[in-house]
Structure 1
Amino acid sequence: MTFNALLLDKTDDGLSLEIKSVHEDDLPEGDVLVKVDYSALNFKDGLIMNGLVKLVKQYPHVPGIDFAGVVESSSDDRYKPGDRVVLNGWRVGEIHWGGYAQKARVKADWLVPLPDAISTRQAMAIGTAGYTAMLSVMALEDHGLTPEQDGEVLVTGASGGVGSIACAILARLGYQVAGSTGSESSHNYLTELGVSTIVSRAELEEAPKGPLGGERWIGAIDSVGGSTLHHVLATLKYWSCCASVGLAASNELNTTVLPFLMRGVTLQGIDSATCPYERRVVAWKRLVNELPSDILETMTHEITLSELPSYGKKILKGQTQGRIIVNVNS
């Protein structure tokens, strides 16, 4: 049996990215064969497709770090043909062939059963970005954050995939949300998601005048990193938490210990790739209940496999908004 896949391959001139016919026998080993319905475009996918990170070890390679679809066959008793599943993480789309293909074969432990109330399309509209956003909200809650606290929760990179969904979830739960973006055209979009205060990206890229700035946020979800994360840590209120979920700007952190010693600030890293199964299941169940379908549709744009290469460049330039999902069968 053959199917279509977007293959990343090495050439004499660098890398090629083409839709090609692939045979099932070419798929990597795994317990479960899935007929993929949708994948999504994430920032990491853009980096991989354009050869800007050295995550791919063997070529040809199928990118796409997440997917949702239906089980075709399984050697694991937990899954049977017809079951709907979703996959996030586990280095799929990096060292294991990913979601930009009409079929995928993976280990059963990497999958999560899809809740009945959600379609495979909605699952990828949520995707790794939304799943990571929910894990971030859960981390802030674990640290004691509640909607009753006086103040705003800051979300950086608010118009991106993780940021958009984090804003929508927090607003739905009753928090006052401040969203930081570098795109003026996204202001109305963020307001529709429930953001009450828009903060310019430039403001957060400037370092505070001292090692600590004024106490401003009761919590934060940062998907930018670099100087922005330094600014966020220095302006969090006493005993608050920042969930760090991405390092788009830089993985360097030029800060001091003072936010941690003088204000008891916590920096919580969110690793959605290898999150324990039980927490993954809870996160997906909560996403069904706490992310309204109308809001999800507002932030979603669907593309085809053939459109992926151009969108892979757009996402790196900050020219996309919300969630970009890929219908691999169109």
Structure 2
Amino acid sequence: MSNQTNSDNKTFKALVVEETSEGKFAKNIQERHVSDLPDNDLLIEVHYSSLNYKDAMSASGNKSITKNYPHTPGIDAAGVVVSDKSGTFSEGQEVVVFGYDLGMNTAGGLGQMIAIPADWALPCPEALSLKEAMIYGTGGLTAALSIQKLEKMGAKPSDGPVAVSGATGGVGTISIAILSQLGYESIAFSGKPEQSEHLKELGATEVRHRDTINEVGNRPVGRPLWANAIDTVGGDYLANLLKQTKPSGAVTTCGLAASASFSMTVLPFITRAVSLLGIDSVFIPLEDKKAIWQRVATDMKLPNLEQYAEEITLEQTPEYLERFIDGKAVGRYVVNVKG
């Protein structure tokens, strides 16, 4: 079915990923019609999007993320309402969209138009421009949720440093910056030593190579080195962050770039009362998304937001998505979709 609006014949540009042969996928900028979009209530002209690891997986043909191709990735979008059959939003209103099925099996924010259910969108906070909202994007939302969850477990700056794995990634860089803004010390772990000074400029108190997390080896627990931690990569890094967290501390987990599984004993949980906290930035209730966005726009709002992201064009997205797959992505990439 097509989206039956006056804009049906309107064309727009989008990144389209196509399966060319078994296991082979091509990424190209193509012209699409609004009538190609799903039959949903809310039609949005996208001005900005951002790139995330999940977008790179979708764009590389990962069918655990996106089942059917051709497809337009982009789990983030910020733009202006063209029409809303539900009556929730008014024409011209600025809105932001994060998560749900956007960019997974529903054409996403790397296209200049999207059609989605109205309850996937939020009004863009007045304190943020559309571009600023996408500098945060899902990565920034995940960082904010991680810090908020640590706070709900009682974390405070006086407890000691917060370890951050995958520190040069989108979640990691924003986590370090927000932690610094809120008065926390942080230990940034990264496999990119050339980014050490940049991480300190973002607010990291100390920068260490990511492999030092794993020096604890097969021991069930290690020396307690940090009060809390934010893990963005999974695997052994997550396990060994837990082993070295101080008593009553907590570790949040939100990523799987290293591995979706990890192995360890229960000793950190039962001898140190360490907590493992899952972070969901995709299907959390809309009211909770509204609440965290109010924090992002107030006490978690970072000064000079431009320094946390590189702006790219829609035409550059195929190249930049490859950086995630090659392990070369650094920080946040905001996409000027409208051009």
Rounded to whole Å, the distance in 1 between the matches of 2:232 and 2:20 is 33
**Match of 2:246, SS?**
coil
- Whether 2:35 is the aligned partner of 1:25: answer yes
1:190 aligned residue: 199
- Whether 2:125 is the aligned partner of 1:115: answer yes
- Aligned to 1:95, which of 96, 102, 105? 105
Rounded to whole Å, the distance in 2 between the matches of 1:321 and 1:16 is 23
> Equivalent residues in 2 for 1:39-118 (5 A)?
39-118=49-128
State percent identity of aligned pairs. Answer: 40
Rounded to whole Å, the distance in 2 between the matches of 1:172 and 1:100 is 31
Rounded to whole Å, the distance in 2 between the matches of 1:206 and 1:329 is 47
Deviation above 4 Å: which 4+ runs of structure 1? Answer: none
1:170 aligned residue: 179
The AA in structure 1 aligned to 2:45 is K
1:270 aligned residue: 279
- Aligned to 1:249, which of 240, 250, 258? 258
Please, what TM-score do these two structures have when normalized by structure 1? 0.96
Contact 1:70/1:83 (CA < 8 Å) preserved in 2? yes
1:156 aligned residue: 165
**The 10-residue stretch of structure 1 (194-203 or 43-52) with the greater mean CA deviation from structure 2:** 43-52
C-alpha deviation, 1:193, in angstroms: 1.0
C-alpha deviation, 1:293, in angstroms: 3.1
Name stretches of at least 5 consecutive residues in structure 1 with no aligned partner. Answer: none
**Match of 2:335, SS?**
strand
- Whether 2:156 is the aligned partner of 1:141: answer no
Rounded to whole Å, the distance in 2 between the matches of 1:182 and 1:74 is 45
- The 3 A distance-change label for structure 1 pair 28 and 207 is farther
- Aligned to 1:11, which of 16, 20, 28? 20
Contact 1:39/1:66 (CA < 8 Å) preserved in 2? yes
Question: Aligned pairs, how many?
Answer: 328
The AA in structure 1 aligned to 2:131 is R
1:232 aligned residue: 241
Contact 2:239/2:263 (CA < 8 Å) preserved in 1? yes
C-alpha deviation, 1:318, in angstroms: 2.3
2:322 aligned residue: 313
2:141 aligned residue: 131
The CA deviation string for residues 218-269 of structure 1, in whole angstroms up to 9 with x for no partner, is 1111001101001101001111111101111001111111111111111111
Rounded to whole Å, the distance in 1 between the matches of 2:156 and 2:284 is 23
C-alpha deviation, 1:76, in angstroms: 2.1
C-alpha deviation, 1:9, in angstroms: 1.4
**The 10-residue stretch of structure 1 (48-57 or 31-40) with the greater mean CA deviation from structure 2:** 48-57
Rounded to whole Å, the distance in 2 between the matches of 1:9 and 1:304 is 20
**Match of 1:293, SS?**
coil
2:289 aligned residue: 280
Rounded to whole Å, the distance in 2 between the matches of 1:46 and 1:84 is 26
**Match of 2:257, SS?**
coil
2:312 aligned residue: 303
Rounded to whole Å, the distance in 2 between the matches of 1:302 and 1:197 is 27
- Whether 2:301 is the aligned partner of 1:291: answer yes
Rounded to whole Å, the distance in 2 between the matches of 1:62 and 1:46 is 11
Contact 1:181/1:200 (CA < 8 Å) preserved in 2? yes
- Whether 2:40 is the aligned partner of 1:38: answer no
Name stretches of at least 5 consecutive residues in structure 2 with no aligned partner. Answer: 1-9
